[in-house]
């Protein structure tokens, strides 16, 4: 490890206030291998929650509600807000973040936005490092919130122990979500803005979509919230705790942690392979070949 890495590790182990932020930046810049290696054995204690849903559903307000609930129970919290910077993502991202401002001054709440492109494992790899570091730093609860659209809301389930899918009444988005295989990743459905006239219809749609699938083991719970007023947050927390109990009693927690590990290894390995591939593409002589033959020739040099 470099000198600055060793100093950072030392500060991290002393729980110096800025060490967590610095460690995440260090990892985000693609320099985290030795640091994560040294701290890995200290992780594995935190409850890792994933929170996803279409833009505008009120994820950040829900997140703020969960943070307040966890704090009221004396738990320390880390929040990783993932922003894939999709050109076509919707909503006022900054406005959303403001919901979390009330927690900015609480030293036991650590909030971090991720939009890294520099990490070898991509955004997913940077996010996984951040979660691992928050866990190793001693955060009791780590919430990964994806703002984005695309595949990131699927990847969150590879990282989290409990995945919350928030949906919004009267929004075509939510129907799209239900159609698009997101049923399979939800441990808890959250119908936010439950005072909306279409809220009951959305609940029926979730239930009828669920009936089309066969469930083994855990069947997703459905919780109605009004995150702005805090209504339903206690029920949501209880559902999260029931899911945690289920994971522990069945031993499925071991499988989930293993899956998260494999997922992170995959991201890192793919990042390195991609970097190696770029080199081979630059140097390879493929001018006279069709794309398939060229891919064969490039891979033969690996």
* Positions that interact with its own copies (CB under 8 A): 32-34, 36-37, 40-41, 54-55, 84-91, 128, 132, 149-151, 153-154, 172-173, 176-177, 179-182, 261-262, 264-266, 268-270, 272-274, 277-278, 280-281, 286, 290-295, 298-299, 302
58/109 with CB nearer its own copies: 58
153/221 with CB nearer its own copies: 153
- Shortest Å, Cβ 125 to its own copies: 9
- Shortest Å, Cβ 301 to its own copies: 10
91/138 with CB nearer its own copies: 91
- Shortest Å, Cβ 302 to its own copies: 7
209 burial level (CB within 10 Å; 0-12, 13-18, 19+): middle
Is the Cβ–Cβ distance between 191 and 54 less than 8 Å?
A: no
25/286 with CB nearer its own copies: 286
- Shortest Å, Cβ 79 to its own copies: 21
- Shortest Å, Cβ 266 to its own copies: 6
109/182 with CB nearer its own copies: 182
């Amino acid at each position: 490890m470099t000198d600055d890495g060793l100093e950072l590790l030392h500060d991290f182990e002393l729980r110096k206030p800025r060490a967590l932020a610095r460690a995440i930046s260090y990892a985000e810049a693609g320099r985290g291998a030795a640091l994560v290696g040294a701290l890995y054995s200290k992780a594995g204690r935190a409850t890792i929650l994933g929170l996803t849903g279409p833009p505008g559903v009120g994820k950040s307000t829900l997140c703020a509600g969960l943070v307040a609930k966890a704090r009221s129970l004396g738990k320390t919290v880390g929040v990783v807000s993932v922003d894939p910077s999709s050109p076509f993502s919707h909503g006022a991202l900054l406005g959303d973040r403001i919901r979390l401002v009330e927690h900015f001054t609480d030293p036991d709440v650590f909030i971090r936005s991720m939009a890294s492109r520099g990490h070898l494992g991509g955004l997913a790899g940077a996010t996984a490092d951040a979660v691992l570091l928050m866990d190793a730093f001693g955060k009791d609860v780590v919430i990964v919130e994806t703002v984005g659209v695309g595949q990131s809301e699927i990847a969150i389930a590879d990282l989290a122990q409990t995945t919350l899918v928030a949906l919004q009444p009267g929004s075509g988005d939510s129907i799209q979500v239900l159609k698009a295989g997101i049923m399979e990743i939800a441990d808890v459905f959250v119908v936010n803005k439950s005072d909306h006239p279409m809220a009951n219809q959305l609940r029926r749609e979730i239930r009828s979509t669920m009936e089309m699938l066969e469930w083994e083991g855990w069947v997703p719970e459905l919780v109605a919230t009004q995150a702005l007023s805090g209504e339903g947050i206690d029920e949501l927390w209880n559902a999260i705790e029931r899911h945690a109990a289920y994971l522990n009693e069945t031993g499925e927690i071991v499988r989930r942690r293993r899956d998260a590990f494999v997922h992170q290894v995959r991201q890192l390995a793919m990042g390195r392979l991609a970097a190696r591939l770029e080199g081979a593409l630059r140097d390879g002589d493929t001018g006279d070949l069709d794309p398939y033959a060229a891919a064969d020739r490039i891979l033969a040099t690996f």
